């Protein structure tokens, strides 16, 4: 849920700048976005199962050591809450191994219900039991409890088995990239675009949903006990957030704000999408941000950061505008700029999908072979959208 604390500073900044509270046509102005330059990119996997899920074999300490080994900045185990009758606080979170010296620890679970699955993501422990207990209630009641508990709630595998069939009006986002196999996500992308076209600013994120991987004691004794662990393990895909600081609270705020990109693995390129909406030559919006369409051309910029393509990287950048392909552009190098004029007074959004050579990833060495070439995607930049609920 979008924390009030995040909204208040934005309103204060708007007042200090003398910005009007409503535009002349009566509509609300786009909120002033947080800084585009003073944040930090943080990466992790938002959908992981440890041995506290009865259908998973990944020992929690091995999962955490593996995440540390590949340089993750934040960690969350989203174990099935129904496997412990809702008591994730007494199992996953209470496990003395649920700690890291190098990663920010988040708290959540896979809310596993008859009407689909959703991941809760919180900066601190909360009363998950009360959310589990109302899983069969009416959506209005569930929405009120979710709002009170204050976590980021993200629908899982929304077009696959156990797809989300609750209202999206109490969700903050959805898992548009589930597992290492990109081609299985086309249905999720349709769901996402339909929600975006309806004016809902839902954050798209990734999640490996890995249940299996190395087992054993120290890293020197790790063995893979299933083929699946070679292909889909922590980081396939990886979700990047642009956080105002390196803290668990800032990770959740960035998820709420949609300042999020997804890459095929932790070594793959991070996609950054920004826009110059006022024509002054400076980028003033990034993915997740909203702007007012005033009938003037907007310059968009895509940057591809990191990856293992070497000195002459080649990419194909597909730009999606309002659910349809705006263009597909070959890119030699690491940047692309394009221009368009969002229609004044209308709602529109732009997001990008990037394909290219896969980056090698030793922790799940077969994962790169399973992708059909998509290596990253952005969240949208919005024009004239509703405030987030």
Q: Give me the half-sphere count of Cα atoms (radius 13 Å) on the Cβ side of residue 88.
A: 33
Task: Tell whether residue 110 is a contact of Zn ion (CB under 5 A).
Answer: yes
Q: How many CA atoms lie within 13 A of 260 on its CB side?
A: 30
Considering the complex, state which of residue 209 and residue 272 has its C-beta at the smaller distance from Zn ion. 209
- Beta bridge partner(s), residue 210: 48
Nearest distance in Å: CB 85, Zn ion: 17
Which structure tokens are listed for 361? 């990833």
Q: Which string of b and e fits 52-82 if b means at least 16 CB within 10 Å?
A: bbeebbbbbbbbbbbbeebebbbbbbbbbbb
Please say which residue, 178 or 309, places its beta carbon nearer to Zn ion. Answer: 178
Please state, in angstroms and as integers, the Cα–Cα distance from residue 139 to each residue in 78, 142, 143, 150, 387, following that order: 22, 5, 6, 16, 21
How many chain residues are in contact with Zn ion, going by CB under 5 A?
4
**Contact region for Zn ion (CB under 5 A) — 65-73, 111-119, 259-267, 284-292?**
111-119
Nearer to Zn ion, 110 or 256 (CB): 110
117: contact with Zn ion by CB under 5 A: yes
Pick 135 or 301: Cβ nearer Zn ion: 135
Pick the closer one to Zn ion by CB: 205 or 274.
205
Task: Give the binding range for Zn ion (CB under 5 A) out of 154-162, 164-172, 288-296, 310-318.
Answer: 154-162
- Phi, psi for residue 94 in degrees, rounded to 5: -85, -10
- How many other CB atoms are there within 10 angstroms of residue 169's CB atom? 11
Residues 187-246 that bind Zn ion (CB under 5 A): 209
Q: Which stretch binds Zn ion (CB under 5 A): 105-113, 174-182, 183-191, 274-282?
A: 105-113
Q: By beta-carbon distance, which residue lies closest to Zn ion?
A: 117
Q: Does 79 bind Zn ion (CB under 5 A)?
A: no
* Nearest distance, CB of residue 279 and Zn ion, angstroms: 45
Which of 118, 288 has the CB closer to Zn ion? 118
Evaluate the omega torsion of the peptide bond into residue 54 and state whether it is cis, within 30 degrees of 0.
no
Residue 298 in contact with Zn ion, rule: CB under 5 A? no
Q: Per rule CB under 5 A, is residue 81 in the interface with Zn ion?
A: no
CB of 378 to Zn ion, least distance (A): 24
Residue number, 56 or 291, with CB nearest to Zn ion: 56
Beta strand extents in 123-263 (DSSP E only): 152-155, 173-178, 203-207, 214-215, 223-224, 238-243, 260-263
Residue 156 binds Zn ion (CB under 5 A): yes
Contact assessment for residue 107 and residue 127, using Cβ atoms and an 8 Å cutoff: no
- 132 φ, ψ (degrees, to nearest 5): -60, -40
User: Residue numbers of the site for Zn ion (CB under 5 A)?
Assistant: 110, 117, 156, 209
């Amino acid at each position: 849920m979008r924390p009030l604390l995040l909204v208040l500073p934005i309103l204060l900044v708007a007042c200090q700048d003398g910005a009007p509270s409503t535009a002349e046509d009566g509509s609300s102005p786009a909120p002033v976005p947080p800084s585009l330059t003073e944040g930090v990119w943080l990466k992790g996997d938002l959908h992981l199962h440890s041995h506290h899920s009865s259908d998973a074999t990944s020992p929690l300490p091995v999962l955490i050591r593996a995440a540390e080994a590949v340089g993750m900045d934040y960690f969350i185990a989203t174990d099935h809450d129904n496997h412990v009758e809702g008591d994730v606080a007494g199992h996953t979170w209470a496990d003395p191994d649920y700690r890291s010296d190098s990663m920010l620890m988040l708290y959540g679970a896979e809310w596993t219900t008859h009407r689909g699955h959703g991941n809760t993501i919180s900066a601190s422990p909360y009363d998950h039991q009360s959310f589990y207990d109302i899983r069969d209630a009416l959506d209005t009641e569930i929405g009120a409890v979710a709002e009170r508990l204050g976590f980021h709630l993200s629908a899982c595998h929304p077009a696959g088995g156990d797809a989300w069939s609750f209202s999206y009006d109490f969700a903050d986002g959805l898992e548009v990239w589930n597992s290492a196999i990109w081609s299985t996500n086309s249905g999720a992308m349709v769901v996402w675009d339909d929600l975006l076209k309806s004016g809902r600013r839902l954050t798209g994120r990734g999640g490996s949903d890995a249940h299996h991987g190395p087992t054993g004691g120290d890293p020197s004794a790790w063995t893979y006990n299933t083929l699946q662990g070679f292909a889909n393990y922590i980081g396939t895909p990886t979700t990047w957030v642009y956080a105002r600081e390196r803290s668990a609270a800032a990770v959740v705020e960035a998820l709420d704000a949609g300042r999020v990109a997804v890459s095929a693995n932790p070594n793959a390129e991070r996609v950054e999408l920004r826009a110059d909406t006022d024509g002054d030559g400076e980028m003033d919006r990034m993915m997740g941000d909203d702007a007012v369409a005033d009938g003037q051309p907007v310059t968009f910029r895509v940057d591809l950061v990191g990856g293992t393509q070497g000195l002459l990287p080649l990419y194909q950048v597909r730009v999606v505008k309002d659910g349809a392909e705006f263009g597909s552009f070959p890119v030699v190098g690491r940047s692309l700029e394009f221009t368009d004029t969002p229609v004044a007074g209308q709602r529109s959004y732009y997001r990008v999908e990037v394909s290219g050579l896969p980056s090698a990833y030793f922790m799940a060495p077969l994962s790169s072979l399973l992708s059909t070439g998509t290596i990253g995607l952005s969240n949208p930049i919005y024009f004239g959208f509703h405030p987030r609920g």
